[in-house]
Amino acid sequence: MFSILLVLLIIVSVFMIGLILLQKSEGSGMSGSSAASMFGGVLTGASAGNFLTKTTAWLATIFFILCALLAIVASKSDISSRQSELRNELMQRDAAPTPTPASETESAPVSVQEPVSVPVSVN
């Protein structure tokens, strides 16, 4: 259910972005040339602004409804309560007792190594 709602939200978002870009701004915008050629003259003049504005309003309403539904579905499902494997591994590692440096030096025998000499040749 979550995936279906998320895909619908993405599709509505893409359509809404396209419609917003087609709308006429205070300048000439993209609506003047591309909308008329793309829809065969159907979206010219006042009818273009009316249609684009109403469609954008409907898509914005659908967008907000989908966002609310996604939030409800996510809160009710166990997606929000699942923990990743990495988080579980980190929590187990933190729960394990870690040796302190003082206890490591007391239990481990100390060995002294003699220095190694390396012959060097000079040309």
How far apart CA 36 and CA 49 sit, in angstroms, is 12
Please state the pTM of the whole predicted model: 0.50
Residues 14-37, mean pLDDT to the nearest whole number: 70
Q: Which pLDDT band, with edges at 50, 70 and 90, does 66 fall under?
A: very high
Domain locations in the chain as residue ranges: 1-12+42-76
Candidate from 17-26, 58-67, 88-97, 107-116 with smallest mean pLDDT: 107-116
Residue 80: per-residue pLDDT: 46
How far apart CA 113 and CA 38 sit, in angstroms, is 83
Secondary-structure percent of the chain, ordered helix, strand, coil, rounded to 5: 65, 0, 35
